[in-house]
Every structure is written in structure tokens, then in C-alpha cells.
Structure 1
């Protein structure tokens, strides 16, 4: 029997299966909740309310479990993180090459 990986934990990057995204489920590796905005495919720090789903209700704490009807596990939730200062500096320097 093969386990199908649905996504990864937003905190530690541990692989999660579809049944590990329950309302009260936590990551077995780091103990953080899994059904959170930061673990959703719609999460985007650059958008209004940090969500690309326009009908979703605003959630204040993106790292706490919630009841959002639009939640879908993200394949790589850490890819949506805002770039660090080094990335900003490199991008600025690349403009003047």
C-alpha cells in the first residue's frame, strides 16, 4: 500500500498525507496545526488578507487552525514565504546590471 503525499508542513516541511489536514490535527514532526492558512494553496503574503481566494473570510492568525471552506493543501507551502533581505538586495542589484 502506497501513501499518497498531499503536501508539506508549513513550519518544518515534513510530508503530510490527505488525512493529516483535520481541524484539530497537528504535524507529527513539529507539533504545529496543519489546517492553517500558511498550509493552504491560496495563501499568498503579497495579496490582500494574504489570500488569493477573494470570497474567503479574513483570518487574523495565519498559523492557527481555522474553519475556512476554501482550504486546499499546498504542495509546497514554504514557497509562498516572503523573500528575505538578501533576496531583495540581489533583486535591486540585478536591476542595474
Structure 2
């Protein structure tokens, strides 16, 4: 406790979760897994394996729970712009399928 982690997908505070995060820990709000590349400090999408750690095993699903030994949760994983884009796309889809 006492950390400033936020869910990489929805931005919910994870202060109530204890560290280190377990492989199958989930966000209490949106229920996505948290031990994922997208939530890691070493996440580097422009690197060949998507990771700044050269010795890490390549993980194809960057948003799925994994067993990476180099995982270190990032306080900068949540990007509000991505959330806004997702919300906008969802509202457009909702508008298309309303009766």
C-alpha cells in the first residue's frame, strides 16, 4: 500500500492492492489483468520485443497476464488520451446500434 499506481486501462487507483502484483491480479473497476506488459515500466512498444529489457522473453499479448520476471509496475501506464479515444469510439458504436 502507499503507492500511486493506476490501472493501465481505466485509470482506477490501485492503492488498496499490495505489491508486488500477483500474476492474476485484476483492476477492481474494469477487471483487466495488471501483471501485463502494458502496465510495466519496461514496456517499450518501439523496441523489437516491445520491452526495454534485452533478456526478457518475448510476450506477444502485451495486454494479457504473463510470467515475466522483469515486470515492474509503472505509475505512468494509464494514458487519459487513449481512454478518451476508446470512450468516443464506444459512443459512436452505441449510436449506430440504438433502436
TM over 0.5: yes
Q: How does 1:1-97 map to 2 (within 5 A)?
A: 3-17=1-15, 19=18, 21-78=21-78
Q: Tell me the distance in 2 between the aligned counterparts of 1:65 and 1:51.
A: 15
Q: Which structure 2 residue ranges, 5 or more long, are not aligned?
A: 83-99
Q: Normalized against structure 1, the TM-score is what?
A: 0.72
Give the alignment's Cα RMSD to 1 decimal. 2.1
Q: Structure 1 stretches (4+) deviating beyond 6 angstroms?
A: none
Q: TM-score, normalised by structure 2?
A: 0.70
Identify the range of structure 1 (15-24 vs 42-51) with the bigger mean alpha-carbon deviation: 15-24
Following superposition, the deviation at residue 66 of structure 1 comes to: 0.6
Residue of structure 1 equivalent to 2:94: none
Residue aligned with 1:50, SS: coil
Query: Which structure has greater helix proportion?
Result: 1
